[in-house]
Chains A and B, each alone.
Chain A
Amino acid sequence: MARIGTILGEPGERLLLMGNEAIARGVLEADAAVASTYPGTPSSEILMVLSEVAPKVGLYAEYSTNEKVAFEVALAASWNGLRSVVTMKHVGLNVAADSFMSAAYQGTKGGMVVVTADDPSMWSSQNEQDNRMYAMFANVPVLDPMDPQEALEMTKYAFQLSEEVGSLVMLRPTTRVSHTRADVKIGDLPENKKNAVRLWGHFEKNPEKYVVLPSRARRMHPEVLERIEKAREILENAPFNWEEGSGEIGIIVSGISYVYLKEALHKLGIEDKVSILKIGTPFPLPLKKVESFLRKFEGGKVLVIEELEPIVENQIKVLVYDKGINVEIHGKDYIPRIYEMTTRRIIEALEKYLGMKHDVDFAAIDEHFKKVSEKLPPRPPTLCPACPHRNTFYAIKRNAKGKGIYTGDIGCYSLGALKPLETMDTIVSMGASIGLGTGMAHAQKDKRVYAIIGDSTFFHTGLSALANAVYNKAPMTVVVLDNRITAMTGHQPDPSTGLTATMEPTKFIDIAEIAKAMGADYVAVVDSYDIPELLKVLEEADKHQVAVVVSRQPCSLLRTRIQRKKGESWPLYQVDPDKCTGCKVCINAHGCPAISFDKEKNVAVIDEVMCWGCSGCAQVCPFDAIYEKLPDGGRKYDVLDEENKRRWQQWNSML
């Protein structure tokens, strides 16, 4: 593995930084004292790099149990007069929204920046909601960076703006800003950060502001509107909104679409024919700047280019109406409203808008690509080799014998919905498995309900749902896939890990003990690598009303990484071609990516490089055709012996 790019360079240095790393650098340059998050793609790396450097710069960094808690942690820091940042993915703000909407009324003291990373095209998300809408909804200013350099500058600016206005400020990168690496020129670090000074604030009690009773909220609402108009005045002069060019084609462009537009103009060879108004603050929009730009095109037309929703476009249309400006406004009639923006999409829109032609024949490429794609086997993401979840899914499905409803949740284990496991009938949002499961149990009675949830998701929003299930007597089995870490977003610790964000030991919170304390009728902890034991426990669980089965084994990706670093190895499993009948149970019911099928020889084959030593395939093989290859070349067919169970226990205590 390549070493992650450091964000602790010298002022003026050019570093290759991912957008998220640039934002983290901005947080330090702004002298923020507190950073909190619940991880979520594409935002996760901001806190990953901040927590890595936190002890060296005196920053307090925490992984909170969900976005709402993370938001509140940062808000309190602001109310203590400290600068704070909370980061989350776009849908994380849905979880934090309750506090976010209140705090928008109550305002801030120390600068507070809410980073919500949008995911156009849904590379790793359940929707592509445009969080600039949230900014408008809450009357909170939002900054929309075009690239990693601007993301760094905007982060610093956002703290300043927050303090000048007394409001939360949202920074809204998208996937292609957060996950693009670029040469970024970094600024200086404040003395506090250089000397690792941990800043402490002071809480001055002020119930008129901090206790949001209805009478006070009524007084606050006009203040919210005043703040947003004050922010608009300031943003008229923000360095992120500018005009360039003096051509006769007028284009207003927001956020990352600017870089695609520049490339499209370059490819079309019409750079000198356009005038651009680049917008970095889509709300509140700098209306004076926009009006003066529009006035230049009176009697003509202007095209508005932005990713996803017509946020800027609609504000401009209102302005044109209110001010009686004689300009046709185009936007979503040429620019797609769904999926992420690309250079090609802008080239195609401009071809239509301006009636011209580009020299790359996209249609020919598409036609060829369509023909090729139809012949390619799909390769959706899949659970890793030795992923403990695979065994648990296999056991849940086998135990239910076709009579199960599987309400699922969000994490790597969402992949259990795909072939060949297909053990997930619903996925809605974080923690929804148990709520949906409770509803399923009260809405039908022909099938047993299995709510399947990971450890981090359990602490996120599963806790209150489990209390609800017990309280409301919902017959169901809650299966917690406890791999002791938040795996999907890059292995951030959670309360089941026993470590904090800065890798200090802390309490390990045992989910089984929580379930017992809540009064679940049956609670069991089982090793995910022991399939017969899983089956036994799941069968017993079916006899009880609310049963909680904690299937525990650390993430295999993390375990093998740790083992590699320590120079340890793991067992290798191989197929005995003389015993393999080609029945494909290992592939069709278990489906580890290390196993493929040799059609000519009619046998399964295990890739030595990809086998991470769990023995799951050997346990599901009906013909005992898979063995552990011993270091001396011998073969061990009894994969459930005491030695293996001891090894799994040892792996279980590795974190």
Chain B
Amino acid sequence: MEFNVVISGVGGQGILTAEHLLAQTALRKGYKVRAGEIHGLAQRFGSVVAFVRFGETVYGGSVPDGMGDLILGFEPVETMRYINFVKDGGVAIVNTKKIPPVQVSMGLYEYPSWDEIKFWLSERNIKLIGIPAEDLALKAGSALAVNTVMVGAAIKLGLLPFEPEDIKDTIKEIFPAKLHDLNFKAFDLGYEAEPEIA
């Protein structure tokens, strides 16, 4: 059994931390782990993708096209930009907060509508779960906790072999103590979130 998670969004949204949270949990649960990321120029508010793969056997750090079980999309357009990595019949958990790229603000491009996004996902039978992750993160105490909210929603889905306590243990392990409560709350809000768009 192998698990392939794709995480995408805008540089600065905490994608690498979400990756770290899942990868560290998988490691503690005894799985072999590979997590892939890109650093440097690509991180500066541009489009970012990371991968977490774990199981009894794992190979490279990148999920091959069409083999991701799940995508955690921190932004709607950035979800679609990496949809090729998701398998037919997979799941897309999407933060519904749109961040228009400068090119859209300049009027050079249109931001796609939810109807379009829903249609594209339905064409490949990918299930959409849209949650207001940024609002929930703010409710937990900081917009920077979007990543933990998204991880909470992913665990709720039941596709990954982790219990909420497993993630909370990792939160304790990798975050400084003063951020524990905030992230526990963010996790719970993500876990309990009702899909806003589906």
Show the binding face of A for B, using Cβ within 8 Å.
Answer: 1-3, 5, 14, 16, 41-42, 44-45, 123-124, 147, 175-176, 179-183, 256, 259-260, 262-263, 266-267, 342-344, 347, 360-362, 365-366, 368-369, 371-373, 375-385, 412, 414-415, 419-420, 488-490, 584, 587-588, 591, 593, 595-597, 604, 607, 609
Are B175 and A180 neighbours in the complex by a CB distance under 8 Å? no
Interface string of B77-118 (1 = CB under 8 A from A): 110110110010000000000011111111111111000100
A360 to B106, CA, bound (A): 39
A488 touches B41 (CB 8 A): yes
Q: Is there contact, CB below 8 Å, between A181 and B33?
A: yes
CB neighbours of A179 from chain B (8 A):
36-39, 61
A138 → chain B, closest Cβ, in Å? 26
Among the listed A377, A382, A383, which residue makes an inter-chain contact with B109, where contact means beta carbons less than 8 Å apart? Answer: A377
Residue among A343, A372, A609 with the most chain B CB within 10 A?
A372
B147–chain A nearest beta-carbon distance, Å: 9
Query: Given A179-B38, A256-B60, are A587 and B124 neighbors across the interface (CB < 8 Å)?
Result: no
A614 to chain B, nearest CB (A): 15
A2 to B59 alpha-carbon distance, docked (Å) = 25
Complex Cα gap A412–B47 (Å): 15
Query: Is A587 within 8 A of B40, CB to CB?
Result: no
Identify which of A44, A366, A379 contacts B47 (C-beta below 8 A): A379
Q: Which of B43, B59, B83, B109 contacts A259 (CB 8 A)?
A: B59
**B67 in the interface (beta carbon within 8 A):** yes
User: Could you tell me if B44 and A381 are in contact, using CB atoms closer than 8 angstroms?
Assistant: yes
Point out the residue from A181, A267, A384 that lies within 8 Å of B35, measured CB to CB: A181
Contact of A2 among B62, B77, B102, B175 (CB under 8 A): B175
Q: List 28 A-B contacts (CB under 8 A).
A: A2-B16, A2-B174, A16-B23, A16-B35, A176-B61, A180-B36, A180-B61, A181-B19, A181-B33, A181-B36, A263-B60, A263-B64, A267-B64, A343-B59, A343-B64, A344-B65, A362-B66, A366-B84, A376-B77, A377-B108, A380-B46, A381-B41, A384-B45, A419-B103, A488-B40, A489-B40, A593-B45, A593-B99
A384 touches B12 (CB 8 A): yes
Q: Give bound CA distance, A239 to B134, whole Å.
A: 49
Chain A to chain B: the 9 pairs with minimum beta-carbon distance, closest first: A381-B46, A41-B40, A180-B61, A124-B40, A377-B109, A263-B59, A381-B44, A181-B35, A369-B84
Q: Is the CB of A2 within 8 A of B41?
A: no
Q: Is the CB of B60 within 8 A of A381?
A: no
Docked-complex contact B39 and A41, CB < 8 angstroms:
yes
In the complex with contacts A375-B116, A596-B100, A382-B67 CB distance below 8 A: no
Task: Evaluate contact between A365 and B77: CB separation under 8 angstroms.
Answer: no
> Using a Cβ cutoff of 8 Å, how many contacts connect chains A and B?
205
Cβ contact of B24, chosen from A16, A372, A414, cutoff 8 A: A16
Check A372–B46 contact: CB distance below 8 A. Answer: no
**Which residues of B are interface residues toward A (Cβ below 8 A)?**
10-12, 16-17, 19-21, 23-24, 27, 31-47, 57, 59-62, 64-67, 77-78, 80-81, 83-84, 87, 99-112, 116, 120, 123-124, 134, 143, 174-176
Point out the residue from A176, A180, A593, A609 that lies within 8 Å of B102, measured CB to CB. Answer: A593
Residue on A with the closest CB to B11? A381
What is the CB-to-nearest-CB distance from A655 to chain B, in angstroms, rounded to a whole number?
20
- Across the two chains, which residue of chain B brings its CB closest to A181? B35
Known: A181-B19, A259-B60, A591-B102. 12 other contacts (CB 8 A): A41-B41, A42-B39, A44-B39, A179-B36, A368-B84, A377-B110, A377-B111, A378-B109, A380-B47, A415-B41, A488-B40, A587-B105
Cβ-defined partner of A490 (8 Å) among B39, B62, B105? B39
CA distance A604 to B105 in the complex (A): 9
A414: B residues at CB distance < 8 A: 41
Cα distance A260–B110 when bound, in Å? 37
In the complex, chain B residues whose CB is within 8 Å of the CB of A347: 64
Shortest C-beta distance, B189 to chain A (Å), equals: 17
A344/B40 in contact, CB under 8 A: no
Partner of A375, one of B36, B67, B100, B112: B112
In angstroms, Cα B124 to Cα A361, docked, is: 12
Is the Cβ of B33 less than 8 Å from the Cβ of A16? yes
- Find out whether the CB atom of B65 lies under 8 angstroms from the CB atom of A360: yes
**CA distance in complex: A362, B65 (Å):** 7
Residues of B within 8 A of A382 (CB): 44-46, 102
Q: How far is the CB of B50 from chain A (nearest CB, A)?
A: 9
Bound form: Cα–Cα A372–B42 in Å: 22
Instruction: Decide yes or no: A381 and B84 within 8 Å by CB, A181-B33, A343-B60, A376-B112 being known contacts.
Output: no
Interchain nearest-CB distance for A256 vs B (Å): 7
Contact A3 B176 (CB under 8 A): yes
Q: Which residues of B contact A256 (CB under 8 A)?
A: 60
- Are B102's CB and A419's CB within 8 A? yes
**What residue of chain A has the Cβ atom nearest to residue B175's Cβ?**
A2
Residues in A whose Cβ lies below 8 Å from that of B106: 419-420, 584, 587-588, 591
In the assembled complex, which residues on chain A have CB atoms less than 8 Å from the CB atom of B77?
376-377, 379
A16 to B, closest residue via Cβ = B27
- Output the nearest chain A residue to B109 by Cβ-Cβ distance: A377
- Taken together as a complex, chains A and B put the C-alpha atoms of A607 and B16 apart, in Å, by 22
List of B residues within 8 angstroms of A369 by Cβ: 83-84
How far in angstroms is the closest Cβ of chain A from B119? Answer: 10
Contacts of B59 in A (CB 8 A): 259-260, 262-263, 266, 343
* Residue of B31, B59, B105 with most partner-chain A CB within 10 A: B105
- Which residues of B are found within 8 Å of A344, using beta-carbon distances? 64-65
- Inter-chain contact A384/B44, CB cutoff 8 Å: yes
- Among A14, A176, A266, A378, point to the contact of B62 (Cβ < 8 A): A176
Known: A259-B60, A372-B80. A587 touches B65 (CB 8 A): no
